[in-house]
Amino acid sequence: MSTATTASTIFLKNTWYVAAWSHEIKAEGMLARTITRLPLIFWRDQDGRVVALLDRCCHRAAPLSKGRREGDCIRCMYHGLLFNSAGQCVEIPSQEFIPPAAKVRAFPVVERSKWVWIWMGEPTKADASLIPDTHYLDDPGWRGTPGYLHYNANYVLIADNLLDFSHLSYVHATTLGGSAKYAGTRPKVTREGRSVHVERWLIDDEPAPFLRNLKTWPGNVDRWNIYEVVLPGVLLMDSGSAATGTGAPEGNRVDAASFFGCQAVTPETEKTSHYFFQQSHGFALDDPAVTESLTTSVLAGFMEDKDIILAQQRILDLDPDAPMLALRMDTALASFRTMLDKAIAEESAQT
Amino acid sequence: MSTATTASTIFLKNTWYVAAWSHEIKAEGMLARTITRLPLIFWRDQDGRVVALLDRCCHRAAPLSKGRREGDCIRCMYHGLLFNSAGQCVEIPSQEFIPPAAKVRAFPVVERSKWVWIWMGEPTKADASLIPDTHYLDDPGWRGTPGYLHYNANYVLIADNLLDFSHLSYVHATTLGGSAKYAGTRPKVTREGRSVHVERWLIDDEPAPFLRNLKTWPGNVDRWNIYEVVLPGVLLMDSGSAATGTGAPEGNRVDAASFFGCQAVTPETEKTSHYFFQQSHGFALDDPAVTESLTTSVLAGFMEDKDIILAQQRILDLDPDAPMLALRMDTALASFRTMLDKAIAEESAQT
Amino acid sequence: MSTATTASTIFLKNTWYVAAWSHEIKAEGMLARTITRLPLIFWRDQDGRVVALLDRCCHRAAPLSKGRREGDCIRCMYHGLLFNSAGQCVEIPSQEFIPPAAKVRAFPVVERSKWVWIWMGEPTKADASLIPDTHYLDDPGWRGTPGYLHYNANYVLIADNLLDFSHLSYVHATTLGGSAKYAGTRPKVTREGRSVHVERWLIDDEPAPFLRNLKTWPGNVDRWNIYEVVLPGVLLMDSGSAATGTGAPEGNRVDAASFFGCQAVTPETEKTSHYFFQQSHGFALDDPAVTESLTTSVLAGFMEDKDIILAQQRILDLDPDAPMLALRMDTALASFRTMLDKAIAEESAQT
């Protein structure tokens, strides 16, 4: 299996991608962001609803994000065409007739729990009930800090990373991870619909390094990472540690350090990606030092991921078709890639 | 019509391109400049005549611009071949026989009114009478300052900009342009031979912002932009403003602010361009403050053009075949592109 | 003959390339270096022997050079695979069975006289007796300083430069070269096996500029450059100057300034190269000022080469298929390119 798979070069269209954090799209102004190689412009209409249009004027391809907002419309500041929030051109200088083709593509958008989701495919198929539940992002029972990293790497390499936590013992040995014992455990991997479910337990081991500033226990802990990765690359993870015996699958998680992680990888182009993440804690809610320490640890860890993934991308660039050797630890990764390739192939067959 | 037209990727050969300002080619030294993807070297011979040769030694492709001038010859400083100003090799170290193929291509050059023109096609077809009249560049009845911008964009996008002044109301709203009323007027567009003629009048409106430092009138003005764009991208423009009633087509332009603009876009490569320009004023000739203010305004305005054109190029790079929607305001632009594509197609057919 | 020859884009495999200076590979740590577009990692095992492996984990293509040395093994720090110095995987976290394919390619390496040589082809053909004799690099009878330059140019352009010393009169007129008389002499060129032999004498001329700080003679000198360039690009050169009459072919080189140069060009990618060199002097062995002056002069001269070669590469990039005109001075260069193209064609035919 090489990265030169369908998934790396053709993008899934009929799916929800995380496009932005809510706070990135302000009441005034506009956000320009490219997703699946399409330039997009996002803004809020006067009712606060997020609008997403193709950031390319239908006339001469100037980006609307260089334009001017006029109420709920946007004016291209090259030659003055005015578009409403549905992408329909409503004014053309020097001519009264507006051709039906004078419009820019509008994309279905849903804003939910601080994330703005966009549907890049057929609008009539945009079913908001398909959006994964990420209420942890703004649930009062959880605390966390929004994060974003831009990657000069294909997004599937980032998804690969999320699908195999073996790397915690190596990439994150001194931060989010810990001993080699973690890599030695085997997760339970199942596939359901458009997601891969991974459940991983480390019983009776020292707490991970990053926990030292968050919580202490008299002895060892049981540690869990229970998560799913949903197409095209959204991770939803229940994780935590509790005193050994109380955390384990049948335990009651008494006095646990519990976390919920929401992460999303969104392709910008074939070689660049957006990465959105928030790790929320469900304990010590009123202690900002815990939130801050967790935020710092998570970012440090994710920079370690970025470092190895960019290195991997550099090596792959020298020989994109180099073979990769499938190992047992790749079960979830392989399952996800197969699912993604299949979904893309199905879309291609329909068009 | 997309930018992926003939004109963007194949260059017209049998035409005069502006290669340089006269002052860029000094008595000593050499100027290296790439035009239509061909590296060129320019210098002045001992009689002051400009010489243009391919900047690639026929031997091992070293650039002659890294060489040494020796009288009216230039020596390649890699292996010592000496070429005269006709491009003929006249000396080869270590051998007396000079093969007939030992020459570099020489290009017809004409220097006229501060511009150096080069003919990139068949030398026998280089007819100097085809060079557009740009005497305004150094006519004592006009004052202006030479300008140059390098563009990381295809040259036809710059020509497009010159062919549709609708953009004055948007790109230059606070500088060279003015109110939306300008974009609402319709130019008269005619095509003649290898040029497109555009005539545009704005009657009874406020003076354009940049005029404030140049001239004042008690009331509104009539404004004209009368220009032609000649293949492959040379703009010659009579423009100005005069008190309403005196400027209009049948007016006598009493107390007018009159300008003559010469601009030329020359392709460097498919994705980069040279842009030469001078806006001359025909009034207040002895007031250097007017020249300076005009120079500053024009450069500020042309940087606004550059900003939107580079943005347009970035969007086109994401999808070079994206469609563009033809509007009424594109009449001149479309006419010019058609003329350019046709001229290139005719050349291709001949070879 | 254009640079778009086989040799520029396909690399010879069954040959020894200089990979590094001995001192670049320390007892601890690792050296990452790409050769013939293959990423490699070099390190010393506990016996001090240099090991070279493909710098791409067989699992997910992460570079091993981001890994951790563990005795004579290296652990990939993405998912923890452990490889021994033969490239065999000896440990996989979470599974006991190690598939036979779990290995990375190991390359034959020979360290000799401060240079580390690598064989990029079929390991069974790696015959150390084919390695050119470069004992001058660390022979007590010679003194010199190791040098290295990285080039953004194809390696054959650098080899071209070494094969035609006509350029000394032009590129190095004020440094390593001298008068045009040098370029006017004709070398004797012979080909033998996988090397081209060049012998060049300049009789009764002023000493080269760089010699002024090294040695003085009462009058003119005879100067020799006798060298071979061995595939894929290793120069071995006996050069020097002696008082006229004593240096000439039949002379006894009394009171000579004698040098021995070892230089090697190694392709990194199609457009980038490694260049290793040491110019050793065989006189004034105990005068460090001579070594220092020679080192400085040689580096200054090689920067002049780099400047013209990068300029040449830039010109070639504009038109890779532009023709080149063969001249008499190209005899050695042409012979070497023919030999190299033939060797590559033979390899291609065998696979």
Same domain for C277 and C154, yes or no, is yes
Same domain for B182 and B276, yes or no, is yes
Residue from B5, B198, B325 whose CB has the most chain A CBs within 10 Å, to mutate? B325
Q: Measured between alpha carbons, how far is C227 from C342 in angstroms, rounded to an integer?
A: 22
Q: Measured between alpha carbons, how far is B320 from B260 in angstroms, rounded to an integer?
A: 35
* Residue A249 belongs to a domain: yes
H helices of chain A, in order, are 6-9, 155-163, 180-184, 288-318, 331-350
Same domain for C176 and C63, yes or no, is no
Structure tokens given for A11? 């993008």
Same domain for B142 and B89, yes or no, is no
Q: What ipTM is given for this predicted complex? A: 0.94
**Do C164 and B79 count as a contact with CB atoms less than 8 A apart?**
yes
**Has residue A4 got a pLDDT over 60?**
no
Same domain for C113 and C148, yes or no, is no
C32 touches chain B (CB under 8 A): no
Q: Which regions in chain C score pLDDT beneath 50? A: 1-4
Structure tokens given for C124? 């069974």
Residue from C161, C198, C303, C308 whose CB has the most chain B CBs within 10 Å, to mutate? C308
Q: Measured between alpha carbons, how far is C199 from C191 in angstroms, rounded to an integer?
A: 12
State the pLDDT confidence band at B113, using cuts at 50, 70 and 90: very high
Q: Measured between alpha carbons, how far is C262 from C235 in angstroms, rounded to an integer?
A: 6
Opening angle at CA C320, ends C315 and C323, nearest 5: 90
Structure tokens given for C245? 């009459």
* Residue B235 belongs to a domain: yes
**For chain C, what is the domain count?**
2
The CATH code of the domain that includes C86 is 2.102.10.10
Q: What is the mean pLDDT of residues B299-326?
A: 96
Single-letter amino acid, residue B296 = T
Opening angle at CA B53, ends B47 and B59, nearest 5: 125
**Has residue A2 got a pLDDT over 70?**
no
C179 burial (CB, 10 Å; 0-12 / 13-18 / 19+) is middle
Q: Measured between alpha carbons, how far is A199 from A186 in angstroms, rounded to an integer?
A: 9
| Cβ C81 vs Cβ C89: under 8 Å | yes
Tell me the pairing of strands A38-44 and A50-54.
Answer: antiparallel
**Has residue A216 got a pLDDT over 50?**
yes
Domain limit, last residue, from C130, C154, C178: C130
Chain C: residue whose CA lies nearest to B103: C325
Complete DSSP assignment for A18-70? EEEEGGGS-SSS-EEEEETTEEEEEEE-TTS-EEEEESS-TTT---GGGSEEE
Chains in touch with C (3+ beta-carbon pairs under 8 Å) read: A, B
Q: What is the mean pLDDT of residues B325-340?
A: 96
Among candidate residues A31, A23, A87, the one with its CA nearest the CA of residue A58: A87
Contacts 24+ apart (CB under 8 A), B217-220: B217/B241, B217/B242, B217/B243, B217/B255, B218/B243, B219/B243, B219/B244, B220/B244
**Do A325 and C101 count as a contact with CB atoms less than 8 A apart?**
yes
Residues in chain A: 351
**Do C324 and B56 count as a contact with CB atoms less than 8 A apart?**
no
Q: Measured between alpha carbons, how far is A67 from A76 in angstroms, rounded to an integer?
A: 5
Domain limit, last residue, from A102, A128, A154: A128
Reported as a single tens digit per residue, the pLDDT across B141-194 is: 999 999 999 999 999 999 999 999 999 999 999 999 888 999 999 999 999 999
Instruction: Write out the residue range of the structural domain in which residue C66 sits.
Output: 29-130
E strands within B86-178? 89-91, 109-112, 115-119, 147-151
Domain limit, last residue, from A128, A155, A171: A128
**Do C315 and B63 count as a contact with CB atoms less than 8 A apart?**
yes
Which pLDDT value is given to residue B6? 65
Same domain for B66 and B212, yes or no, is no
Which pLDDT value is given to residue A3? 46
A179 touches chain C (CB under 8 A): no
Q: 3-class SS at B213?
A: helix
Structure tokens given for C155? 């390696």
E strands within chain C? 16-21, 31-35, 38-44, 50-54, 68-70, 73-75, 82-83, 89-91, 109-112, 115-119, 147-151, 188-192, 195-205, 221-230, 234-243, 257-267, 273-281
Among candidate residues B284, B298, B140, the one with its CA nearest the CA of residue B215: B284
State the smallest CA–CA distance between residue A47 and chain B in angstroms.
27
* Residue B14 belongs to a domain: no
Same domain for A41 and A142, yes or no, is no
Q: Is B232 left (phi over 0), alpha (psi -120 to 50) or beta?
A: alpha
The CATH code of the domain that includes A230 is 3.90.380.10
Which pLDDT value is given to residue A248? 67
Which pLDDT value is given to residue B246? 77
Tell the residue number behind the tokens 């250097």, with chain if given.
B288
Residue from B33, B55, B60, B74 whose CB has the most chain C CBs within 10 Å, to mutate? B60
Contact residues for C208 (Cβ-Cβ < 8 A; gap 6+): C168, C176, C177, C178, C223, C241
Contacts of residue A95 in chain B, CB cutoff 8 Å?
A: 327-329
Across the interface, of B38, B55, B94, the residue whose CB is closest to C186 is: B94
| Cβ C266 vs Cβ C141: under 8 Å | no
Same domain for A148 and A112, yes or no, is no
State how far the alpha carbon of B71 is from the alpha carbons of A312, B28, B104, B146, in Å.
56, 10, 18, 29
**Has residue B221 got a pLDDT over 60?**
yes
State the smallest CA–CA distance between residue B117 and chain C in angstroms.
22
Same domain for B328 and B275, yes or no, is yes
Phi (first) and psi of residue B212, to 5 degrees: -55, -35
* Residue B20 belongs to a domain: no
C171 touches chain B (CB under 8 A): yes
Across the interface, of A183, A308, A324, the residue whose CB is closest to C80 is: A183
The terminus-to-terminus CA distance of chain A in angstroms comes to 26
Q: Measured between alpha carbons, how far is A104 from A88 in angstroms, rounded to an integer?
A: 7
Same domain for C203 and C255, yes or no, is yes
Contacts of residue C93 in chain A, CB cutoff 8 Å?
A: 166, 169, 180, 183-184, 329
Chains in touch with A (3+ beta-carbon pairs under 8 Å) read: B, C
Which pLDDT value is given to residue C1? 40
* Residue C173 belongs to a domain: yes
Of residues A33 and A350, the one with the higher pLDDT is A33
B201 burial (CB, 10 Å; 0-12 / 13-18 / 19+) is middle
State the pLDDT confidence band at B2, using cuts at 50, 70 and 90: very low
| Cβ A234 vs Cβ A214: under 8 Å | no
Across the interface, of C56, C58, C93, the residue whose CB is closest to A183 is: C93
Contacts of residue A328 in chain C, CB cutoff 8 Å?
A: 92, 94-95
* Residue A96 belongs to a domain: yes
**Has residue B5 got a pLDDT over 80?**
no
Phi (first) and psi of residue B8, to 5 degrees: -80, -25
Among candidate residues A19, A255, A296, A274, the one with its CA nearest the CA of residue A144: A296
**Do C308 and B76 count as a contact with CB atoms less than 8 A apart?**
no
H helices of chain C, in order, are 6-9, 155-163, 180-184, 288-318, 331-350
**Do A62 and B329 count as a contact with CB atoms less than 8 A apart?**
no
Same domain for C73 and C147, yes or no, is no
State the pLDDT confidence band at B254, using cuts at 50, 70 and 90: confident
State the smallest CA–CA distance between residue A147 and chain B in angstroms.
27
* Residue B243 belongs to a domain: yes
Which pLDDT value is given to residue C253? 82
Same domain for B119 and B162, yes or no, is no
Chain B: residue whose CA lies nearest to C334: B60
Which pLDDT value is given to residue C252? 75
| Cβ B162 vs Cβ B190: under 8 Å | no
Q: Measured between alpha carbons, how far is B116 from B138 in angstroms, rounded to an integer?
A: 13
* Residue C168 belongs to a domain: yes
Share of chain A above pLDDT 90, in %: 90
Tell the residue number behind the tokens 């996989």, with chain if given.
C92
Q: Measured between alpha carbons, how far is B67 from B63 in angstroms, rounded to an integer?
A: 7
Q: Measured between alpha carbons, how far is A324 from C104 in angstroms, rounded to an integer?
A: 11
**Do C327 and B75 count as a contact with CB atoms less than 8 A apart?**
no
